[in-house]
Amino acid sequence: MWSGFFAPAETLVKLNLTGTCGDVVDVGCGYGTFTIPAARAICGTVFAFDIEADMVEATARKAKINGLTNVHTMRRDFIANGTGLPAASIDYVMLFNILHCEQPDVLLKEAQRILTPGGTLAVMHWNYDPTTPRGPNMNIRPRPQQCRAWAMDLDFIPFGPEQIDLPPYHFGLTFHKARAGKTGAGLSPTEH
């Protein structure tokens, strides 16, 4: 059923993951739906985190079956304990279908901490539409504008389309971490 909800490789391209990307973090990796195609696409390592042991095991198993040696899985409560990765060490962070949690700001602050200056934050979530076949309850499901505002409150700089359509049931947003000493207002278009 999950395969009908996403086109993972195409989604990652739309969300600006490129082959020149170094290390990537997948927060809440689940079954490795995006971890595996990301690992195939990049030149670095994908650090895949989930609080559920069975999700971590499923992702590790998929990486092994696919012969991928650049996937590092870890069971971790990243809301309580962060990722444990060094500051400014990651090129790309995926926050996919997770910002409906009780403390989205904690996830965004950790993404801000671990991203390199100029690094990419990619957000994907279920459309704000009660007819989607899955997804969180509508009273906790964030709207695109809300996700955008949360990220910009932490000085993330939006780039690309205001909202990326990820049919059939999702939207995406992309941001850069501000370069040292600069905020979104101070960057020229060539620095995005």
Q: Give 86-107 as a DSSP string.
A: PTT-EEEEEEES-TTSS-HHHH
pLDDT tens-digit series, residues 122-175: 999 999 999 888 899 999 999 999 999 999 999 999 999 999 999 899 999 999
Locate 1 and state its tokens: 């059923």
pLDDT of residue 112: 97
Of 153, 148, 105, 106, the closest CA to residue 125 belongs to 148
Structural domain for 136, as ranges: 2-191
- Label residue 6 by pLDDT band (50, 70, 90): confident
Contact between 142 and 170 under an 8 Å Cβ cutoff? The reply is: no
Domain count along the chain: 1
Q: Could you tell me the CATH number of the domain that includes residue 44?
A: 3.40.50.150
pLDDT of residue 4: 60
Residue given tokens 């009908």 in the structure block: 4
Beta strands (DSSP E) in the chain are: 24-27, 46-50, 71-75, 90-96, 115-126, 156-158, 164-166, 170-177
Average pLDDT over residues 20-45: 97
